[in-house]
Chains A and B, each alone.
Chain A
């Protein structure tokens, strides 16, 4: 039942997926509904909350602001594939830090928050607390009050809060 379908190939977490999508399909829906990667959450309809943040060629992108067809040719990393991008066989250091520093409660914002933080540190390895606050302004959390999130990100940046 796909109208005006187009064929695209998306590379997600190192795997190639051939999909048939409508040109208007947002990346987040392609990831969740067509590929089944439901770790990327949907929290709003207005690009406000950041729950759907993924990495596109290593940079954080709200996957509700990008069409699936625009993501062709890029390497997409979702929360499910993040661990594999780091050394070692466990969690990515950012996942580990959110885990240890109680950087989550309900967990709904967590995948997007972690990926936004990974991208932030990658871009600004030397950032301090105010840099974390500025850099994560696009990701909303309603549970934690953000304090433990800041601590987790600073720990990964090598600056214990």
Chain B
């Protein structure tokens, strides 16, 4: 549906979000705030072993602990396997593979494999019970990183997949004639990039409550990113049909990809069901501590990218080679999907005539990698943008100009040997970023920088510089994934036209304000004021499947579904139906998996384009870096709500700032050793860029609702390479890995 010509009254305006009123008075109900008075309290027990086989699990002392009501283990799980894109993880690790899972269920493959849930009258009793669980393990050789995993003598972590290696998912690109590409190259840039883990650090740790609802459904109230996928995974593990399970999201305190996979949902559902079978009809509540959260859920993938770029002396790319290795940790989570996005991003929004790219996801016995804002894009973009910046420096060509010379245009063939979706605006965002930042003028002076207030500033130690990066980000899960989004609208009224509408949608508002954007789109589509549209959201009992709040897809997909539902409701209204009900399932143009050898295919139907300029001050005496200004430039197609779009840019920039400079997840012998916000440092208000200048372009996507593109990941993706180019400009040093902690910077400056 092309709705760019629809009348827009609500769309394009920035009304106050309807949930803000509750959030400023403390009335928003997060799962930990909605604990029924008669609830039991549950604690999840981790294996605490990166790689080991469980021999015995004795829960008798736990069950005998005062206040403990029940202990659930692998023996209680009907189908002991789960996973978002493949069932490669046991719900509980337990002794003896009972044949109820496709993966050996007696092996812990990371420290937070779950072995039991203890349910008790109080959390304290549950913790005492958990401490009384006795397990005996046979330790197996740890596989601490991908180097170890790829060694010929490495233990196979998932032999059930039939492969002879821990590298279990591969993607290739063979485009053009790579030998000719190198022959045509006047210069070659070759580097190895190391990208770090990142923890989501959503402020609200995982929490939820399970019970049997009035219709007999096993119900979980929790937070997440896709109610129907959660329901599907719960139903699978519990051996139930989807209709026998209900998932409801309460207020969600951030997600960023970190709530895309299961944490406590399945085991909570299991507990409620089992208790009910034994006549105990009390709800079960579980809330993770920060430490449990950081240890217990996946991270942005760390990885390594070997990259080689050839170009003419005019800076025109002739050849690109890349080898992308992502650390999946113990289980796949969404690694295969993230890898695909890294695979496409490593070529950037540029014309690359000749390319050889191989990307692989590799199992280790560490914390799994998974979804996190950007979804593989930051890793891939870091490599290509650093390569281009090095090329520009080598050839003494302006970094923005070298991108213009190579940028993709409408009608161009992309890296997957198919024509890009219409609406390629790489050049437009580069030009807009150049214009807004004054890129062609001398670097502006900045305020004095004295990172350690108690010490006198060292004269002459401050160096300033600036850098540039550009990129693109797709919408959706790509590669043939069956994308869809469903909406339902009811129109009410006694007159000729409706005076009120109900909107039913499953899409998850993780904090970004999606539910307000949905109502804005619905209001315009049915011709009502925003206040006349009531939303009913995120309950599988009332909503169709919206797909996930991830991959920059939600506004695009949900918006189109709402427009379709409005059209159906309007027809029903004109047919005299009261209330007039419209249901619609939006299905975007199909995508396809890449050819395994050549990478040829059409993986996506829409992209957004962005560019970032960064200005920094580097204290060469202490290694501290201050980001003086960021000009974050995005073609969002259409800003459905400009205030929310700006909020996404400013928030993504600060998350990427942490990724680039301070967030430093540490692992030791397979264990996360920075499991608190006191040791894992996300940016505070004193750490952020001095100025974040958000530049919003609205160049309509032909398929997007009102022309909107997906945008919430874009500001993240180009941040690290732009800052690292600025640090190079300031110091003459290229950093091929990060975070740029003061110690790392000082060491490199020598």
Interface residues of A (CB under 8 A from B): 1, 32, 37-49, 51, 78-80, 82-83, 91, 95-96, 98-100, 102, 104-111, 114, 132-134, 136-150
Contacts and interface: CB of A to CB of B under 8 A. Distances in A.
A20 to B, nearest CB: 14
Contacts of B510: 106
Contact of A1 (B121, B511, B651, B653): B121
Given A46-B677, A140-B682, A148-B650, A106 B511 contact: yes
Interface of B: 14, 16-17, 19-30, 32-33, 67, 121-122, 125, 200-205, 251-254, 256, 289-291, 510-513, 643-644, 646-647, 649-655, 676-678, 682, 684-686, 688, 692
A38 B650 contact: no
Chain A CB count within 10 A is highest, among B254, B676, B682, for B254
B203 A104 contact: no
Given A43-B205, A100-B16, A148-B647, A133 B676 contact: no
Contacts of B650: 144-148
A104 B682 contact: no
A138 B685 CA distance: 8
Given A48-B678, A142-B203, A145-B654, A105 B647 contact: yes
A106 B651 CA distance: 11
Contact of A107 (B28, B122, B676): B28
Contacts of A110: 23-24
B103 to A, nearest CB: 32
Contacts of B685: 132-133, 136-137, 139, 141, 146, 149-150
A45 B121 contact: no
A131 B19 CA distance: 29
Nearest to A3: B124
Contacts of B200: 142
B686 A144 contact: no
19 contacts: A1-B67, A38-B32, A38-B33, A41-B204, A42-B205, A45-B290, A46-B678, A49-B203, A51-B203, A80-B25, A95-B24, A99-B24, A102-B646, A102-B647, A105-B651, A106-B204, A106-B253, A141-B203, A150-B685
A91 B25 contact: yes
A146 B290 contact: no
B511 A46 contact: no
Contacts, number: 171
Contacts of A108: 30, 202-204, 253-254, 511
A91 B20 CA distance: 12
B13 to A, nearest CB: 13
Chain A CB count within 10 A is highest, among B24, B647, B650, for B24
Contact of B201 (A42, A132, A142, A146): A142
B691 to A, nearest CB: 9
A112 B746 CA distance: 36
Contacts of A42: 32, 205
A48 B29 CA distance: 22
Given A45-B291, A99-B20, A150-B685, A143 B651 contact: yes
A133 B17 CA distance: 25
A44 B23 contact: no
A49 B692 CA distance: 23
A78 B24 CA distance: 11
Given A43-B290, A102-B17, A146-B685, A114 B24 contact: yes
Contact of B256 (A78, A96, A99, A142): A142
B676 A44 contact: yes
Given A42-B32, A106-B511, A133 B678 contact: no
A154 to B, nearest CB: 13
Contacts of B27: 39, 80
Contacts of B251: 106-107
Contacts of B252: 106
Contacts of B649: 145
A96 to B, nearest CB: 8
Contacts of A79: 24-26
A38 B285 CA distance: 15
B290 A46 contact: yes
B688 A1 contact: no
Contacts of B23: 104, 107, 110
A134 B686 CA distance: 6
Nearest to B123: A33
A146 to B, nearest CB: 5
Contacts of B204: 41, 43, 106, 108
B26 A111 contact: yes
Nearest to A106: B511
A7 B122 CA distance: 20
A41 B250 CA distance: 15
A147 B692 contact: yes
Contacts of B291: 45
Given A39-B27, A43-B205, 20 more contacts: A1-B122, A41-B30, A41-B203, A44-B290, A44-B677, A46-B290, A78-B26, A79-B26, A104-B23, A104-B24, A105-B511, A107-B22, A108-B30, A108-B254, A110-B24, A134-B686, A140-B203, A142-B254, A145-B647, A145-B654
